[in-house]
Amino acid sequence: ATQKETLGFQAEVQRLLHLMIHALYSNKEIFLRELISNASDACDKLRFGINSGHLKPALSTTNANDFTIRLRADKAARTLSIEDNGIGMSREEAIQHLGTIAKSGTRDFIAQLSGDQAKDAQLIGQFGVGFYSAFIVAERVTVESRRADAPADSAVRWESDGSGEFSVETIEKDQIGTCLTLHLREGEDEWLSSWKLREVVKRYSDHIAFPIQIQQESWDAEKQTMEVKDEWETINQANALWTRSKSELSAEDYERFFESLSFGNGKPLKWAHHRVEGRSEYTQLLYLPRQAPHDLWDRNQKRGLKLYVRRVFIMEDAEQLLPAYLRFVQGVVDSSDLPLNVSRELLQESRDVKAIREGCTKRVLSMLEELAESENDQDQNDYALFWREFGNTLKEGVAEDFANQERLAKLLRFASTQQDSSEQTVSLAAYVARMKPEQEHIYYLTAESYAAALASPHLEIFRKKGIEVLLLTDRVDEWMLSYLSSFAEKSLQSIAKGSANLDKLADDTEKQAQATATEAHKPFIERLQQALQEQIKSVQVSARLVESPVCIVAEEGAMSLHLQRMLKAAGQ
Ligand code: ADP
Ligand code: MG
């Protein structure tokens, strides 16, 4: 007795199916991604069941290494089958899983559909709809399944044309697992072609951990047709490097993978590979490149990590996974929690994504901190290399990432009067360690170029007193400094602004001399003040100059002259 019965789909499923069958679909190919992902999940579940001792497969031959996902195209019958030897389904499970929608997220999504077919079709395309997407290309779907722990005679055949009802009957099935057969709609013959299958598998399912196979074909010269052979060829890499354990992988493996990610951007400087558990579960494989891409400065340029969900490729350049100032980082995030059909819009709101972003940011900062330890290594100062390529990008973080500002400030490097070159090698910590006992501030000077900074009259007094001044000549410096007011409890002080802070550095005789000079030149100072009253605020005698007769000083808290010049140049 096969006990055939006919049942109705849950109302939500009916709505969904109706839409899928009647809407014109733009990216039909997602059905294959969904069905392969289900097959892969089924293999995962069985492997886990066996390994954990929860499940005893009926066939003793089931070996954890023998899992395959096979695509079989039958040109004569116009069917495409997707067959796995995973966990399978019982009759009750088939009714439950293939007749209702269990996931609340998907149900909510369906409730949102407007009834406007074009719009809804687009939405579904982004969202993906799991098993039911089979009906995008199939007018009838047959599922034959045998639970891995069930006898051969208690398998199930589920069948539907997607129009409201499905039938189930008990059948015999030799193999455990599930075989889905799609009876293709008119015009969907491309799914019978092996190159089309290869192309779509390569695009979405290359890193599925199990071999995805198609039958080999050969040209039969006598019959003048392609004949299918009974030999199977694996068409995916079946090798998601990031899912393997670190101990199995060599530096070369990582370097080769980086090459595939970065399209030949040389070797990486450093990488980090971790499985993160906790609020959100995911694997991260992050690389610091050695070289900046030519478009690093183009804020509209694509950036971000590759996003996978349980090894299924979801999208390139998921910029939500890292803040903009870390856009030089390349790599992969593989989430266990996100839905397969997550769109860029959904990524923005997801709490899982927020956790991933924070986790990846922290990881990159740790990598940089480790890299910075190489600084004292004369032969291989990788941090200097990094800083030259990406230092300016990292500076943006000081302004944009308040939560990590302290860590970022430690990673900054500057040119300084202590050094004989324009090379940015001085950290704030090193500066603070060299400060004079009576010195209260970290002094800096912003300028358009290193040469301009060195020629500044503001430096004279500092040279004379042997006080180090950081020389900041990059465009982002002013902006960054407006967010960074102190380091290690020392405030950062521009030497081109104000004057009060210099007083403490002057000794008594200097102070005396300054007072006397002010007194002696009173009439002259008043005349100057008179003549320049439109342009300046006040004229003061100062000890800050050694060789130059006069310099212009910005008011404390005012925009620096350098910034004023920059804004003027930008037409503001
Ligand atoms: P999801 O995969 O997100 O759970 P789907 O609509 O893709 O949603 O699949 C619904 C359910 O049907 C799955 O959760 C699983 O229980 C069952 N299923 C689908 N395909 C298979 C398969 N090949 N083997 C075993 N069970 C399957
Ligand atoms: Mg699925």
Cα-to-centroid distance, 189 and ligand 2 (Å): 24
The residue whose CA has the least distance to atom 8 of ligand 1 is: 130
Contact 255, 239 (CB under 8 A): no
- Where helices occur in 350-435 by DSSP H, the ranges are 351-372, 382-400, 405-411, 428-434
Which helix (H) or strand (E) segment is 229 a member of?
A: strand 225-234
The residue whose CA has the least distance to atom 7 of ligand 1 is: 130
User: What local confidence, expressed as pLDDT, does residue 125 receive?
Assistant: 57
* pLDDT tens across the length of the chain (572 residues): 578 999 999 988 998 888 777 775 667 888 998 899 999 989 988 887 887 778 888 876 556 568 999 999 999 999 999 999 999 999 999 999 999 887 766 677 677 777 676 667 666 655 657 899 899 999 999 999 999 999 999 999 999 999 999 999 999 999 999 999 999 999 999 999 999 999 999 888 888 889 999 998 888 888 888 888 889 999 998 878 898 899 989 998 899 888 877 765 678 999 999 999 988 899 999 999 998 876 666 666 667 899 998 888 888 888 899 999 999 999 999 999 888 777 788 888 888 999 999 999 999 999 999 999 988 877 788 999 999 999 999 999 999 999 999 999 999 999 999 998 999 999 999 999 999 988 999 999 999 999 999 999 889 889 988 999 999 999 899 999 999 999 999 999 999 876 645 666 667 777 777 777 777 788 887 888 788 877 777 777 776 666 667 777 777 666 666 667 666 666 65
- Is the CB of 39 inside a 6 Å radius of any atom of ligand 1? yes
Tokens 């006990």: give the residue.
Answer: 3
Contact 166, 9 (CB under 8 A): yes
Q: How far apart are CA 323 and CA 321, in angstroms?
A: 7
Cα-to-centroid distance, 131 and ligand 2 (Å): 6
- Is the CB of 67 inside a 6 Å radius of any atom of ligand 1? no
User: What local confidence, expressed as pLDDT, does residue 17 receive?
Assistant: 87
Q: Identify residues whose C-beta is under 5 A from ligand 2, the ion.
A: 38, 130
Cα-to-centroid distance, 186 and ligand 2 (Å): 25
- Please give the model's pTM, rounded to 2 decimal places: 0.69
CA of 156, nearest ligand number: 1
Instruction: Report pLDDT digits (tens) over 491-531.
Output: 999 998 766 456 666 677 777 777 777 777 888 878 887 88
Q: How far apart are CA 470 and CA 492, in angstroms?
A: 10
Contact 401, 384 (CB under 8 A): no
- Is the CB of 31 inside a 6 Å radius of any atom of ligand 1? no
Report the SS3 class of residue 456: coil
Which atom of ligand 1 is nearest to 84's Cα?
A: 23
Instruction: Report pLDDT digits (tens) over 272-326.
Output: 999 999 888 999 999 999 988 766 666 666 678 999 988 888 888 888 999 999 9
The residue whose CA has the least distance to atom 5 of ligand 1 is: 130
**CA-CA-CA-CA dihedral for 566, 570, 571, 572, to nearest 10:** -60
Q: 194-199: which pairs have CB atoms within 8 A and are 24 or more residues apart? A: 194/73, 197/32, 197/71, 197/73, 197/235, 198/235
Identify the CA nearest to 115 among candidates 200, 254, 16, 263: 16
Q: How far apart are CA 228 and CA 74, in angstroms?
A: 9
SS3 letters for 115-142? CCHHHHHHHHHHHCCHHHHHHHHEEEEE
- Is the CB of 160 inside a 6 Å radius of any atom of ligand 1? no
- Is the CB of 45 inside a 6 Å radius of any atom of ligand 1? no
Residues 6+ apart with CB under 8 A from 436: 465, 466, 467
- Is the CB of 87 inside a 6 Å radius of any atom of ligand 1? yes
Question: What b/e readout covers 281-303, taking b as 16+ CB neighbours within 10 angstroms?
Answer: ebbbbbbbbbbebeebeeeeeeb
- Is the CB of 107 inside a 6 Å radius of any atom of ligand 1? no
Contact 340, 309 (CB under 8 A): yes
Which atom of ligand 1 is nearest to 339's Cα?
A: 3
Is 129 labelled as part of a ligand binding site?
Answer: yes
- Is the CB of 83 inside a 6 Å radius of any atom of ligand 1? no
Cα-to-centroid distance, 147 and ligand 1 (Å): 13
The residue whose CA has the least distance to atom 11 of ligand 1 is: 97
CA of 180, nearest ligand number: 1
Tally of residues, the chain: 572
Q: Give the neighbor-by-neighbor strand order of the sheet with 470-472.
A: 415-416, 470-472, 441-446, 490-494, 486-487
Q: How far apart are CA 412 and CA 2, in angstroms?
A: 73
Identify the CA nearest to 546 among candidates 457, 416, 439, 417: 457
The tokens describing 219, both together, are: 């040209």
Contact 217, 233 (CB under 8 A): no
User: What local confidence, expressed as pLDDT, does residue 500 receive?
Assistant: 44
Cα-to-centroid distance, 565 and ligand 1 (Å): 63
Which helix (H) or strand (E) segment is 269 a member of?
A: strand 268-276
Is 126 labelled as part of a ligand binding site?
Answer: yes
Identify the CA nearest to 328 among candidates 370, 389, 405, 388: 389
Q: Name residue 349's amino acid.
A: E
Which atom of ligand 1 is nearest to 180's Cα?
A: 23
Contact 397, 326 (CB under 8 A): yes
